[in-house]
């Protein structure tokens, strides 16, 4: 589908969205907005309906919060945006003059929901931002863009918020930068924003991730901002105060368009390699954690560390599976040898500590 008639959403570069993860009380919304109002932001965000992973978490204040957003507009002149996930949300948001709506990651992942929102937006002239789906599937992301476009919306932008993955990582949602960069390659004129809050999951790395996005020629950022972040009813660890937000944005280096242009493909491949290396390290760390548990079990049950049969089976299987992936036998055995040795070291250490304790 060619999308040559896309319209920009406001000024394109840099585009800044800030505001609380959730609208909680009128006072919290208004005060956050007041403190952000002087900061040259393009949109004030606040979640009204919150898609929470588990029930019994705070699920948003609902439509009463839309009245507060209206007051934000009236008092500060800021434009406002919120997440919509179904027909009712779209209807209420439009009724309360929300300026821009966004589709959350849990909506983009589901074509039924995206279509429902698209149908509700048919014939309505409101800009729509589309977050990436929670899983790293570029086609699903593009599919959502196409559904919204087919409904007649022409002001479309995307928000990169990272992708969920099992296991420990330094990110709440792994960025996998190669995916938004590929999207950017396919849709060079579409605004792309980095939601550093949902990528990081914690305050400490927000600036670093925002800078990375800007270095990759993203058009702007979306950052969760709260007057008292530690008391936030959702996503407390990743929110910052408006003052901290000001400090972060003033430290960012905003690349001018056309300036510092990156060799997109090479960067994309390097990002991919860096991320894979990072994941390999995470996995190795996890593997050693399991080895330590095995060490303890062997100790308690008086089994020797080295299990010759088990080791030969692992090696044989890996050589076979490696060959299918074009990996040489010598490489596989050296690689496994090194991992095995490290596992043994960990198990020995555990056994020694267990000895001392008993
Ligand atoms: C949010 O921005 O508050 C949110 C729910 O984000 P996501 O859809 O990216 O999880
Ligand atoms: Mn949030």
DSSP-assigned beta bridge partners for residue 224: 19
Least confident of 117-126, 134-143, 148-157, 277-286: 277-286
pLDDT tens digits, residue range 190-221?
Answer: 999 999 999 999 999 999 999 999 999 999 99
Structure confidence at residue 351 as a pLDDT band (50, 70, 90): confident
Whether the per-residue pLDDT at 307 is higher than 80: the answer is: no
Q: What is the pLDDT of residue 21?
A: 98
**Residue whose CA is closest, atom 8 of ligand 1?**
104
Quote the pLDDT of residue 263. 57
CA distance 34 to 46: 14
Q: Which of 32, 47, 130 to mutate to test the pocket of ligand 1 (most atoms within 8 A of CB)?
A: 47
Ligand 1 centre distance from Cα of residue 267 (Å) = 27
> What is the topology classification, in CATH, of domain 261-353?
Chorismate Mutase Domain, subunit A (1.20.59)
Our mutation pick for probing the ligand 1 site, out of 23, 103, 105, counting the most ligand atoms within 8 A of Cβ, is 105
Fold equal for 3-251 and 261-353: no
Among 17, 43, 172, 198, which is best to mutate for testing ligand 1, by the most ligand atoms less than 8 A from CB? 198
- The alpha carbon of 44 and the centre of ligand 1 are apart by a number of angstroms equal to 14
Q: Which DSSP string corresponds to 132-197?
A: PPSSS-HHHHHHHHHHHHHTT---EEEEE--B--SS--SSSSB--THHHHHHHHH-TTSEEEEEHH
Q: Is 70 exceeded by the pLDDT of residue 12?
A: no
Q: How confident is the model at residue 354 (pLDDT cuts 50, 70, 90)?
A: low
Spatial contact of 300 and 310, defined as CB atoms under 8 Å apart: no
pLDDT in tens, 56-103: 899 999 999 999 999 999 999 999 999 999 999 999 999 999 999 999
Contacts of 86 (CB under 8 A, 6+ apart): 113, 116, 117, 120
Which ligand 1 atom is nearest residue 105's CA?
8
pLDDT band at 259 (very low <50, low <70, confident <90, very high): very low
The best mutation among 104, 141, 173 to test binding of ligand 1, ranked by most ligand atoms within 8 Å of the C-beta, falls on 104
What residue segments make up the domains of the chain, in order of their start?
Answer: 3-251, 261-353
CATH fold group of domain 3-251: TIM Barrel (3.20.20)
Nearest ligand 1 atom to the CA of 21 is: 3
What integer is the mean pLDDT of 34-54? 95
pLDDT at 347: 86
CB atoms closer than 10 angstroms to residue 241: 17
Q: What is the pLDDT of residues 330-350, one digit of tens each?
A: 899 889 888 988 888 888 888
Mean pLDDT confidence for 291-319: 85
Could you tell me if 153 and 117 are in contact, meaning their C-beta atoms sit under 8 angstroms apart?
A: no
Residue 238 Cα, ligand 1 centroid: separation in angstroms? 12
Average pLDDT over residues 211-234: 96
Mean pLDDT of the 288-303 span? 88
CA of 235 to the centre of ligand 1 (A): 10
pLDDT given at position 353:
78
Query: Hey, what are 208's tokens?
Result: 């670093």
Ligand 1 centroid vs 40 CA: distance in angstroms?
23
Locate the ligand 1 atom nearest the alpha carbon of residue 235 and give its number: 3
| Ligand 1 mean position, distance from CA 161 (Å) | 8
pLDDT of residue 357: 47
User: What share of the chain has pLDDT > 90, as a percent?
Assistant: 68
pLDDT at residue number 139: 98
- Nearest-atom number in ligand 1 for the CA of 107 is 8
Residues lying with their CB under 5 A of ligand 2, a single-atom ion: 21, 235
For the cut 90, the answer to whether the pLDDT of residue 358 exceeds it is no
Q: Which residue has the higher pLDDT, 114 or 344?
A: 114
Tell which residue, 224, 260, 237, has the closest CA to residue 23. Answer: 224
Tell me: pLDDT of 294 over 60: yes
| Listed range (114-123, 251-260, 288-297) with the worst mean pLDDT | 251-260
- The ligand 1 site (C-beta within 6 Å) comprises 21, 47, 51, 104-106, 131, 161, 195, 198
C-alpha span between 240 and 248 (Å, rounded): 10
| Average pLDDT of the segment spanning 125-148 | 98
The pTM (predicted TM-score) of the whole model is 0.82
């Amino acid at each position: 589908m060619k999308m040559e008639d896309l319209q920009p959403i406001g000024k394109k570069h840099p585009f800044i969205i800030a505001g609380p993860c959730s609208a909680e009380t009128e006072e919290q919304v208004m005060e956050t907005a007041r403190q952000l109002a002087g900061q040259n932001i393009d949109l004030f965000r606040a979640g009204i309906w919150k898609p929470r992973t588990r029930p019994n978490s705070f699920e948003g204040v609902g439509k009463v919060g839309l009245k507060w957003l209206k007051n934000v507009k009236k008092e500060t002149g800021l434009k406002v945006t919120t997440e919509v996930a179904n027909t009712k949300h779209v209807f209420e948001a439009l009724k309360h003059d929300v300026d821009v709506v966004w589709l959350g990651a849990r909506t983009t992942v589901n074509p039924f929901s995206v279509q429902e929102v698209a149908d509700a937006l048919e014939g309505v002239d409101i800009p729509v931002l589309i977050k990436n789906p929670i899983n790293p599937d570029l086609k699903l992301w593009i599919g959502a863009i196409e559904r919204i476009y087919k409904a007649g919306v022409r002001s479309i932008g995307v928000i990169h918020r990272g992708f969920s993955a099992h296991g420990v990582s330094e990110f709440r949602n792994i960025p996998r930068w190669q995916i938004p960069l590929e999207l950017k390659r396919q849709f060079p004129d579409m605004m792309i924003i980095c939601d550093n809050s949902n990528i990081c999951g914690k305050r400490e790395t927000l600036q670093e991730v925002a800078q990375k996005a800007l270095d990759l020629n993203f058009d702007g950022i979306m950052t969760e901002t709260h007057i008292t972040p530690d008391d936030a009813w959702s996503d407390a660890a990743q929110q910052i105060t408006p003052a901290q937000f000001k400090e972060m944005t003033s430290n960012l280096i905003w690349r001018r368009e056309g300036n510092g242009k990156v060799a997109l493909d090479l960067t994309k491949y390097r990002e991919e390699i860096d991320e894979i290396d990072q994941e390999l390290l995470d996995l190795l760390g996890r593997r050693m954690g399991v080895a330590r548990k095995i060490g303890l079990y062997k100790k308690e049950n008086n089994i020797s560390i080295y299990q010759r049969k088990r080791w030969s089976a692992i090696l044989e299987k890996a050589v076979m599976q490696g060959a299918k992936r074009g990996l040489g036998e010598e490489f596989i055995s050296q690689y496994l040898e090194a991992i095995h040795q490290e596992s043994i070291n960990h198990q020995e250490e555990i056994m020694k500590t267990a000895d001392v304790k008993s």
